[in-house]
Amino acid sequence: MNQALHVSPTALELMRSRFDAFVRGDIDYLARTHDPDTRSKHLEREIAQTLEEVRYTELEILGVSQGKEGDKVGKVEFIAFYEQEGKTLRHHERSRFRRYKGAWVYVDGEILE
């Protein structure tokens, strides 16, 4: 994970690129764009396990708060649709993002029903 951070202009753009990385299985990108202050020691393994069990299919953005080019923090509420064991399921989350060394990073998320 020594590669440079990906620079997305907004938190929403980072959210979209992270979803695309889940679809592609790009574990390195997902780890690199995760806030180092909230990153698990086993993040790559946890992502790999998730990707073995599910296939992400669609992203629906429900709302955005802050997270623009001049902001330091932002939130994105979304539903990610995925397939697992032949069923289509959904993951509803309000994600928090912040600027870290000039780049947006994913901090954490609140799971919503």
Question: At 55, which CATH number?
Answer: 3.10.450.50
The reported pLDDT for the residue numbered 4 is: 52
pLDDT in tens, the chain (113 residues): 445 556 789 999 999 999 999 999 999 999 999 999 999 999 999 999 999 999 999 999 999 999 999 999 999 999 999 999 999 999 999 999 999 999 999 999 999 98
CA distances from 40 to 19, 61, 69, 87, 107 (A): 19, 26, 27, 28, 11
Residue 78 lies in domain: 11-112
Q: What is the total count of domains within the chain?
A: 1
The reported pLDDT for the residue numbered 7 is: 74
In a domain, 3, yes or no: no
pTM score of the predicted model: 0.92
Task: For residue 104, list its beta bridge partners.
Answer: 99
In a domain, 1, yes or no: no
DSSP letter for each residue of 85-106: TTEEEEEEEEEEEEEETTEEEE
In a domain, 6, yes or no: no
> Could you give the CA distance from residue 76 to residue 85 in angstroms, rounded to a whole number?
28
